[in-house]
Structure 1
Amino acid sequence: MSTTPKTGQEMDAYTVNVIKGLIMDATRKANSGHPGGAMSSADYAYILFKEFLSFDPDNPNWWNRDRFVLSAGHESMLLYSLLTLNGYLSIKDLMEFRQFESKTPGHPEHDQTPGVEATTGPLGQGFAMAGGMAVAETFLRHKLGQDITNHYTYVLVSDGDLQEPVALGSAALFGQWGLGRLIAYYDSNKIQLAGPTKRADCSDTKKLFESLCWQVIEIDGHDHEAIRTAIREARAETDRPTLIIGHTTMAKGSATLEGSEKTHGSPMSPEEIVATKNKLGLPADESFFLPEDVIAHFRQRFPLLSDRSGQWSEELAAKQARDASFAALWEAIHTPASKRNIQWPDFEPGTNLATRKAFGACLNGLIDQFPNLMGGSADLDPSNQTVHFRETTGIFGKDNPLGRSFSFGVREFPMGVILNGIALHGGIIPFGATFLVFSDYERNAIRMSALQNLPVLHVFTHDSFFVGEDGPTHQPVEHVSSLRLIPNLLTLRPGDAWESAACFDVAMKQETRPSVLIFTRQGLPVMDPATHPHIREGVGKGGYILEDPTDGKPEIILLASGSEVHLAVGAARALPDAKIRVVSMPCMELFDEQDAAYRESVLPKTVRKRMAVEAGSPDIWYKYVGLDGEVIGMNHFGASAPAEVLKKVYGFTVDHIVERLRETWLK
């Protein structure tokens, strides 16, 4: 083994080799992991972290830090090694790679590991989330001032990331928006898990990204001076995002496995690790080798970084003291969501109003109350009721960085992931809207919202077969129930305009979980708060007693959500002698979280005669009505016909509910 080199270039090369040793040792100890890609990306990531990335060595959550997203999440040991070099993790953490409750899970998870900006498991989403962070930085830089918000977003992507359509759909938007502070590095090692990428892809990535309005720079990804030059060129380009294509070798530096897919998803053998360490000038008999001179070399910039973050804190305090409007805005965007005091519009009882229109009215009322509310529609602005928001706040883009409306185009999945990135950055309340049936396209983004504890607002209209003539391709059936299966997600389906405002209020006050807000196309009767005074409180508890028999002693319980609530009310009123309690259930998740006493007060065990009504899959409702209960739902696809025809055919009328009640319990 050679002695530790001392010159600058030699120390850079040696530190990269030390990082590769940590990658090999951790994946071997865990008997699990992906060393090859992490080793091919090591040169670029090392130069970026050591020489360019702006962060606070003592505070991984410093507001004005550069964001780095490892979209190639399977290369997690590369990131963990760098976070150990900068002091956020320890060698002990690396030894616990992929173990239960460690700070070093198999793929980066932002809420478990200091310095990890996003949970990057599914490929392509880290790339899109990074762009969302760059969107937030751009808006807030112009809103708060460059002295407060002024940083870059870097993302490292793999071949697999760019093969996922979500990445290219997002890339088109980032080029359109001119995100000059978004810098993506593509580690083009031309190998994926199953073998060479040429088996699956003939894309000319340079031409492709240039056509999407990106600056593209090609380099040898192992040449440190070329890496430095490329990063400088990327930072100098202010009107376009930059893709740096680094041509690299899989498992660079390994003894016999350079360029092999065998290193993509499996640790190296002990024999290969020993041979590789000998080749790299590392002690072959020492695991997790990290000498002090390497740490000192890596941290040469730390005094400068600490001074920079300290000066920023002083400037923030001074600006708050001298600029009252800035101080108010800063306080507003940092007020905990649960403390928000929101004014909602009023609605005219007795009128008919689609809940999507109630959503639109609520959204319009938030424009001035929350200057950091940003969002848009996936090319369904009129249908989603976001036109007024767009026309009032302006369209976000390179010519209007203070615009608050996003024109996502027909890109539901990229929309959802970009919203996650915006939420991860902080300082902005993000929402996105489309038809409920397209939640399937967006589903994994919604799941990642929930997994990352992000209070994103996912808005869906046209929520059932009442879409009508567009037919079964556009008529949701299983979607509401399917969304209810995602952990840590609130699925809110209001029954009228007042419940819509209450559901929106619930969503706006979440701090650690996302919400899906589900609205109708068709008009629904607007309830009278004078006769239903507990709507806001009841919605906050997920389910509540909407109407009761005059003596308050129900013999039958009729449950419903959304557009079927007024049908349940109509059926109960048509059978006054049946002693029917009507329960509105806009959010099952919230109701299930209430204490046993409250749930018993709404659904007393003594009342076994129960029926639920929802224009969707029926199965989930049996947890409330019991196996002996009845559910009027849909276990089939819809059809192309006017909604008024379909509701009679499918039995979603007051008359049909009354008939079922009579047949079941009132013979």
Structure 2
Amino acid sequence: MPSEHDQHNINVIKGLIMDATRRANSGHPGGAMSSADFAYILFKEYLKFDPQDPDWPDRDRFVLSAGHESMLLYSLLRLVGYLNDDDLQSFRQYKSRTPGHPEHDLTPGVEATTGPLGQGFAMAGGLATAEQFLRGTWGEEITDHYTYVLASDGDIQEPVCLGSAALFGQWGLGRLIVYYDSNAIQLAGPTARCDCADKRRLFESLCWQVIEIDGHDHEQIRTALDQARAETTRPTLIIGHTTIAKGSASLEGSADTHGAPFSEEEIAQTKVKLGLSSELFAIPQETEDAFRDRFPLLRQTADDWRLRLQQRQQNDPAFAQAWERQHRPVLPAEITWPEFETGSKVATRKAFGKCLESLIEQLPHLVGGSADLDPSNQTATWREKVGIFGNQNPAGRNLCFGVREFPMGAVVNGLALHGGVVPFGATFLVFSDYERNALRMSALQKLPALHIFTHDSFHVGEDGPTHQPVEHVSSLRLIPNLLVFRPADANESRACMELALQQKDRPSALLFTRQGVPVLPAAQTPELQEGVGRGAYIVQEAQDGAPDMIFMATGSEVHLALEAAQQVDPGRIRVVSMPCLELFEEQPLEYQEQILPASVTRRVAIEAGRTDMWYKYTGRYGLVIGLDHFGDSAPAGDLVEAYGFTPEAVAKSVRRHFAS
């Protein structure tokens, strides 16, 4: 089709962008208009997808990292047929399929929920990592697609972007292609006010192929895409130099167009300039037909793939079983877990390490790694046995993240978004702050990812307050849809791991101790699993019958609660382990009453962290023993004494509190 026809179709998209943001009285038209040339050509001529099935497994992935340009993506998805006119007209409205920033579980064709800048870029690398791993595992006849990204100046400025870019260059993600719409404008004004970086030299130093083009020149766009697809050992950054609000009547190059709709007068004048109808949300039939002229080939490509998959499943039962298993949560009966000796002392991080090692053969699609804390996070043996992932070893399952917690969290999210793998990332709990927004995005996107955190309390010891988490457990519990597991011992750790692997639509944060804790007398495995699965259960009942006091605790403080109860009055005290408050809150009120009967008002909660959240369970007059201050640099044993986390100190506090 002649270029002028393509340009008219691009102008139609710009009209949709202007109309939708104006009707919503909210949105970001400028960047969407400057990126429209590239996005249109990518979708119309290059992107592999099934027009009838947005979830076709071997589709190319497109991630709009510049999530504020959402109306550009929605306009393209309307031309694809995944969205309709009503969707465009309800942009940014309550419960519409076209929210202000793309949401992958809400809108067909959206691969990742983006908005917080830089994370779409990082998640896209996770998608490309999954593709490279699965291609190395199954071959190109089953996995053979690209991951494309549209990024903005703001994306590139975010440290999570550059941190993850270093990983993707190191890993040689040759099928990751990022288009950087460099319009030199951001919300506050010209990028030159805050950024002097030479992006070409910067990304080349990170082992990327870099191509610079005029982002409005269609032939340069096509040539750049061809060069990017031909490069197999390096990711590619295409720097498209563009003009924000390209095509507007009087606002080209204006920062005012970044985050505010055009006036009605500006839209009318721009439509005249672009040769568009004054009709709102107009899509000429010839534009839709031209955009879809490749659809018969796309449908045939998808159908051919399905036939290949079916034939391989029929001819290779092992593959068929593995394929089915890779596309659903883990079933409890599929895993044999390690055993732990009652009475021994095992750090729950070491219990995690043993569980991880047991999964090497049993869960061959488990992939992940540590943020440069392999020995501390107990992932060193895992790394040595499964191999290090990279272009030269695409079937390697250990991801060497380096000291990059935030990129790690976002990459894990991308792996989960792709599907076919079970991803995990590990670091110290105190550094969960660094990746917090990735954890939030994990929960928001309903991703069954595993986020591992060790060294979960002041027992870190000599490393001091910078490394001793205080508020972090409570902080994680504030994130909706995130399961926070803090197991009491090795057996609970195993049970929590099993539950995390069973999740379909929510991530898990698993918090493990540095120090050894006693392996409690194990209940029968089904009973333990049921108790942990309900978030809280009785680990020791009052010896004299119905209790008149309840001790509740998590993690390493459960054994402390048990010992303190013996000193106070074992005949009258029930001890409850609460490894996951979120699961406990989901239980029927009958079960909650069974564990924490309202008639027992004398309650004590013990956790080595902030106390605030526990008053929900103890009541206003209950006792919460925790830590509401920063730690100190000293041996852990000294801190236990200083902070009152001994059985004697707890017993004394309980007697004093309830003396009246």
TM-score normalised over the length of structure 2: 0.99
Asked if the contact 1:555–1:578 (Cα under 8 Å) also holds between the matched residues in 2, the reply is: no
CA gap of 1:340–1:82, structure 2 versus 1, over 3 A, is farther
Shift of 1:531: 8.2
Aligned ranges for residues 93-108 of structure 1 at < 5 Å? Answer: 93-108=87-102
1:381 pairs with 2:403: no
Aligned partner of 1:215 in structure 2 is: 209
Q: Is the counterpart of residue 343 in structure 1 residue 327 in structure 2?
A: no
Give the 3 Å change call, closer, same or farther, for CA 102–407 of structure 1 in structure 2.
Answer: same
Give the Cα–Cα distance (whole angstroms) in 1 for the partners of residues 525 and 323 of structure 2. Answer: 38
Q: Who is 2:611 aligned against? A: 618
Q: 1:446 aligns with which of 435, 439, 445?
A: 439
Is 1:249–2:259 an aligned residue pair?
Answer: no
Q: What pairs with 1:176-575 in structure 2 (closer than 5 Å)?
A: 176-284=170-278, 286-337=279-330, 341-530=334-523, 534-575=527-568
Gapped regions of structure 2 (runs ≥ 5) = none
Q: Work out whether residues 544 and 571 of structure 2, in 8 Å CA contact, stay in contact via their aligned partners in 1.
A: no
Report the residue type matching 1:493 in the other structure.
R
Deviations 1:331-388 (A, max 9, x none): 2212334566321110011111100000000110011111000010000000000011
Task: Report the secondary structure of 2:632's partner residue.
Answer: coil
Q: Distance in 1 between matches of 2:506 and 2:333?
A: 16
Cross-structure match for 1:3: none
Aligned to 1:115: 109
Deviation at 1:328, TM superposition (A): 2.0
Q: Contact between 1:395 and 1:404, CA under 8 Å: does it hold in 2?
A: yes
2:557 partner letter: E
SS of the equivalent of 1:473 reads coil
Ranges in structure 1 where 5+ consecutive residues have no aligned partner: 1-6
Matched letter for residue 598 of structure 1 = Y
| 2:76 matched residue in structure 1 | 82
Task: Report how far residue 532 of structure 1 moved.
Answer: 9.1
**Could you list the runs of 4 or more consecutive aligned residues of structure 1 that deviate by over 4 angstroms after TM superposition?**
530-533
- Asked whether the 8 Å contact 1:355–1:494 carries over to 2, the reply is yes
Per-residue CA deviation, residues 13-42 of structure 1 (Å, 9 max, x unaligned), is 100000000000000000000000000000
Cα distance in 2 for partners of 1:211, 1:228 equals: 25
CA RMSD of aligned residues (A): 1.1
1-structure distance, mates of 2:385, 2:250 = 61
- Cα distance, 1:482 vs. partner? 0.3
SS of the residue corresponding to residue 149 of structure 2 reads: strand
- Matched to 2:200, the amino acid is K
Q: Could you tell me which residue of structure 1 aligns to residue 15 of structure 2?
A: 21
Question: Does structure 1 retain, via aligned residues, the 8 Å contact 2:27–2:68?
Answer: yes
SS of alignment partner, residue 633 of structure 2: coil
TM-score under structure 1 normalisation? 0.98
Between the aligned partners of 1:177 and 1:603, the Cα distance in structure 2 is 50
Q: Which amino acid aligns with 1:459?
A: I
Q: 1:628 to 1:37 in 2, by over 3 A?
A: same
Give the SS at the match of 2:361: coil
> In the alignment, is the contact (CA less than 8 A) between 1:556 and 1:578 conserved in 2?
no
Cα deviation code 1:242-290 (max 9, x no counterpart): 0000000000000000000000000000000000000000012x11010
Equivalent residue letter for 2:531: G
Q: How many pairs does the alignment contain?
A: 660
Paired residue secondary structure (2:556): helix
Q: What is the one-letter code of the residue matched to 2:245?
A: A
Same amino acid, percent of matched pairs: 66
1:399 deviates by 1.2
User: Which secondary structure state, in structure 2, belongs to the residue aligned with residue 406 of structure 1?
Assistant: coil
Q: Aligned letter for 2:473?
A: V
- The alpha-carbon deviation at position 325 of structure 1 amounts to 2.2
- Establish whether residue 628 from structure 1 lines up as the match of residue 614 from structure 2: no
Within-5 A mapping of 1:572-583 = 572-576=565-569, 579-583=572-576
Supply the AA of the counterpart residue of 2:633. Answer: S
Q: Which residue of 2 aligns with 1:125?
A: 119
Matched, 1:134 2:128: yes
* C-alpha deviation, 1:11, in angstroms: 1.2
Distance 1:335 1:191 in 2: 43
Partner SS for 2:509 = strand
**What's the CA shift for 1:636?**
0.4
Distance of 1:376 and 1:13 partners within structure 2: 46
Cα distance between partner residues in 1 of 2:570 and 2:114: 58
Partner residue, 2:142: 148
Is 1:338–1:511's contact at 8 Å kept on the other side of the alignment? Answer: no
Shift of 1:661: 1.7
Letter aligned with residue 597 of structure 1: E
Aligned equivalent of 1:4: none
The AA in structure 1 aligned to 2:225 is I
Q: 1:311 to 1:339 in 2, by over 3 A?
A: farther
Secondary structure of 2:293's aligned partner: coil
Residue-by-residue CA offset, 1:513-555 (whole Å, 9 max, x unaligned): 0000000000000012258983221111000111011233101
Q: CA deviation at 1:9?
A: 1.6
